[in-house]
Amino acid sequence: MRALLSVSDKSGIVEFAKALSELGWEIISTGGTYKKLKENGIEVIEIDEVTKFPECFEGRVKTLNPYVHGGILYKRDNPSHQQQAKELGVEGIDLVCVNLYPFKETIDRTDDFDEIIENIDIGGPTMVRSSAKNFKDVIVVTSPKDYERVIEALREDKNSLEFRRDLMIKAFEHTASYDSMIANYMNDRFKDNFGEHRFIVGKKVFDTRYGENPHQNGALYQFGDFFSKNFHTIKGEASFNNLTDINGAVKIASSFGDERAICIVKHGNPCGFAIKDTLLDSYTQALKCDPVSAFGGVVAVNGVVDGELAKKMNEIFLEVIIAGDFTDEAIEIFSSKKRLKLFSQKSPTLKVAKDKFDFKHIEGGFVFQDSDCICDNEVRNAKVVSENGASITQAKDLEIAWKVAGLTKSNCVVYVKDGAMVAVGMGMTSRVDASICALRKAKEVGVDVTGAVMASEAFFPFRDSIDAAAKAGVSAIIEPGGSIRDDEVIQAANEHGIALYFTGVRHFLH
């Protein structure tokens, strides 16, 4: 039995090769892999002894050879294939272990296109595809994580068709994701990210118990390694719906740098948010906005949850808490809550992956776009269009309201007072309805919005929303502007003595 080993990621390859040798396998290898195995005392045959042709063109051609691919592809149970292999002097290659040139690492490290081109693997994917195609006769290994599993199967005579088929699927996933990454990069570089094809490729992190509903399957996939590095389960199991809510909560809470922000989310929308001097105060104020909706909600804590905060959070039923981290005391306090799920990023504060693109499934396909960015300078550079300007405190509240509004389902309005969201209306078909709904909810829970600022993620088409805000005691408003009736909206703000700012940027979220 012969194995061909040619890997870019050399972790574990020496141990794998030694185990194969001990089982009586003959090892063939190339370039750097050959050198590493030789240095570690493993008996290994260099590839050009098989190909009867030297590596050439700076290593661009070394395994593209009939003695390699014939040895991989000929059918062992086909008499004519056996006869032809014998006539041509082709010997079987029964195991192929290949992982590919580090294209991702290269584009992350450099913009030098010549170097990037040289890190596009040709021979590797070809060998992987050949061995995967002939999985009935050949074992194909593309991940160091499978080395131990393969050796165990060989030692215990478990090298079944089903076993090889599973490795075959992984092999085609490996080459497909690799080629997709290259195509996406080229479109990004030369087609402004919008070429004829767009590939959405993710690697599974874990299965969820089910999807949005129990009759649907679900799983979390990641584009790079963000979740592998930054999503740690402390307690419980993340569901499909938990993950979407966590995403919304973390995006809002983390958008204020290292400030002590807490966001409470229910069904994808914020129902509480605050930034105060302590995380305990932030949570206490965030909860006041809509304590009814917060019941069973998801809370994102932009910091470390300590014992004091844990005791406060334990007063109501929360389904999920995602935080920068938790103290041991906090984890112990939460242990009594059987249904509570805890997730940590093992970090002082929360972070997001900051994907460059965004997409949404629609029946028959998907719509694809650049990711929206709600930048700090949008508020700082906003134009005051009213006679009155905002105070320093109001300006800070406007920034909070604007960022929260931009990450809340349209149509929405957000009211903020003294660093805390006091009312929110979201997902409405009318912006004035969103305003009225938010104020009615605030009144029901006894929250005083007098003196609050208000943000709308898109322009107000009429002055009616401004009139309603003035009646509620709103002191300042921020919106994109751009309506044909902007003059009427500005006039209304001046009549009521409200500071009005236009950002010039809209943030629809549908």
* Amino acid 431: pLDDT: 82
* Both tokens assigned to 139: 């074992």
Catalytic residue among 18, 81, 133, 396: 133
Q: Higher confidence at residue 92 or residue 53?
A: 92
- State the pLDDT at residue 510: 85
> Which CATH code for domain 378-502?
3.40.140.20
pLDDT band at 491 (very low <50, low <70, confident <90, very high): very high
Average pLDDT estimate for 472-495: 94
Separation of alpha carbons 400 and 273, rounded Å:
9
What are the backbone dihedrals phi and psi of residue 469, each rounded to the nearest 5 degrees, phi first? -65, -40
Residue recorded with tokens 């050009």: 48
User: What's residue 7's pLDDT?
Assistant: 94
pLDDT at 64: 85
Indicate if 443 belongs to the active site: no
Sheet hosting strand 2-7, strand order edge to edge: 45-46, 26-29, 2-7, 95-99, 139-141
The reported pLDDT for the residue numbered 460 is 85
Average pLDDT, the chain: 94
In eight-state DSSP terms, residue 306 is -
Report residue 34 as tokens: 């050959």
CATH of domain 2-190: 3.40.50.1380
Provide DSSP, 330-360: HHHHHTT-TT-EEEE-SSSS------SEEEE
**Using one digit for the tens of pLDDT, what is the confidence trace for 291-343?**
999 999 999 999 999 999 999 999 999 999 999 999 999 999 999 999 999 99
pTM: 0.88
| pLDDT tier at 435, thresholds 50, 70, 90 | confident
CB atoms within 10 A of CB 495: 13
Under the banding of pLDDT at 50, 70 and 90, the label for residue 269 is very high
The CB density around residue 299, as the number of other CB atoms within 10 Å, is 25
Mean pLDDT, residues 244-272: 96
Catalytic residue among 10, 267, 351, 396: 267
Mean pLDDT for 266-294 is 96
Task: For strands 95-99 and 139-141, give the pairing.
Answer: parallel
Number of other residues whose CB lies within 10 A of the CB of residue 119: 18
pLDDT at 454 over 90: yes
More confident residue, 373 or 115: 115
Burial 6-16 (b: 16+ CB within 10 A, else e): bbbeeeebbeb
**pLDDT score of 461:** 87
Q: Which part of the chain has CATH 3.40.140.20?
A: 230-344, 378-502
Our answer to whether residue 267 is catalytic in this structure is yes
- Assigned CATH topology for domain 230-344: Cytidine Deaminase; domain 2 (3.40.140)
Lowest-confidence region among 295-299, 385-389, 441-445: 441-445
* pLDDT > 90: percent of the chain: 82
pLDDT of res. 14: 96
pLDDT given at position 198: 92
Paired strand residues for 238: none
Asked whether the predicted pLDDT for residue 59 surpasses 80, the reply is: no
* Buried b / exposed e along 358-373 (16+ C-beta atoms within 10 A): eeeeeeeeeeeeeeee
Q: What is the pLDDT of residues 121-176, one digit of tens each?
A: 899 999 999 999 999 999 999 999 999 999 999 999 999 999 999 999 999 999 99
Which one-letter DSSP state was computed for residue 169?
H
- Nearest alpha-carbon partner for 261 in 269, 249, 271, 246: 249
Confidence (pLDDT) at 261: 98
The pLDDT score that the predictor gives to residue 51 is: 86
In three-state secondary structure terms, 201 is: coil
pLDDT value for 22: 95
Q: How far apart are CA 418 and CA 451, in angstroms?
A: 9
